Amino acid sequence: MWAIFLYMGWTAVSCALALTLLLAGTASADAGHFGISFRDCPETASSGLQAALDAAYGRVNGTFGTCPDHVEVVIISDGAMDKVGKHVDSFSGWNKEFSAIVLRNSSINNCSSLPVLASHELTHLAVNEMLSKKDPSEYHWMEEGICTWISREPLDDADVSHYIVGHGFLDTAGIYDAIKSEDCAVSKNGYMQSYSLVKYMERRYGLEIIKKLLECPEESFDAAFLQCTGVSFASFYGDWKTRVMASGRE
């Protein structure tokens, strides 16, 4: 499932967001929280798409309570999505006036990946809403990990740990830089470490810690982590690294 998200480097993201803004004027058929439209591809029956979107919205908004009330969902042709990335099936765009999810046409009939895609992108929108209330620069490294965790990617913890051990540990700034990389192997390491750290946070402190960190007015992540947990992030990171190394070498 990683290929769905990983190969969208920073340049592609910039182009994709520009495309999202262009699509803002696309006529759509409103259905609940979503406006659904098709661009450069034939409109197909969307009952499965609607159900997947509604289920994802209920779960993500039930977790964070910050999903935009209205989201434009634009289905584009495989050829158009290939210009963003041949292995990209979805991306999202958000600002305070407009939220959108863009899906590859061939992905909307995949009953196994569509719920993951919908949940992943809706989580981006929910997280962006929370982070917009402060300077989010020290928190961006968490975002892909949160989205991957909430969307229930079918990842094996031992496999993730083995990958991280094999490719080297990164600090939080390094994780974010890796995620933005155009090099697929580098980017994947960033995603893996973001996901593993977020999942370990949830296991150790519960779901509320993720929400508290995102909502904390502190712009310093280290200060927010200490405030929310009573533990320094350096100490937590050391515990996580020890756990990953033990699991990755089994």
End-of-domain residue from the set 108, 131, 154:
131
Q: Both 96 and 150 in a single domain? A: no
End-of-domain residue from the set 95, 111, 131:
131
Host domain of residue 36: 3-131
What is the pLDDT averaged over residues 176-181? 93
Domain tally, the chain: 2
101 close to 19: Cβ distance less than 8 angstroms = no
Q: Both 16 and 35 in a single domain? A: yes
Question: What is the structure's pLDDT at 20?
Answer: 55
Distances from the Cα of 58 to the Cα of 109, 115, 118, 243, angstroms: 20, 12, 11, 33
Question: What is the structure's pLDDT at 87?
Answer: 80
85 close to 10: Cβ distance less than 8 angstroms = no
Question: What is the structure's pLDDT at 26?
Answer: 53
pLDDT at 115 over 90: yes
> Cα angle vertex 196, ends 195, 197, to 5°?
95
pLDDT band at 28 (very low <50, low <70, confident <90, very high): low
Question: What residues form DSSP beta bridges with 74?
Answer: 37, 102
End-of-domain residue from the set 91, 110, 131:
131
Does pTM top 0.75 for this prediction?
A: yes
Question: What is the structure's pLDDT at 10?
Answer: 38
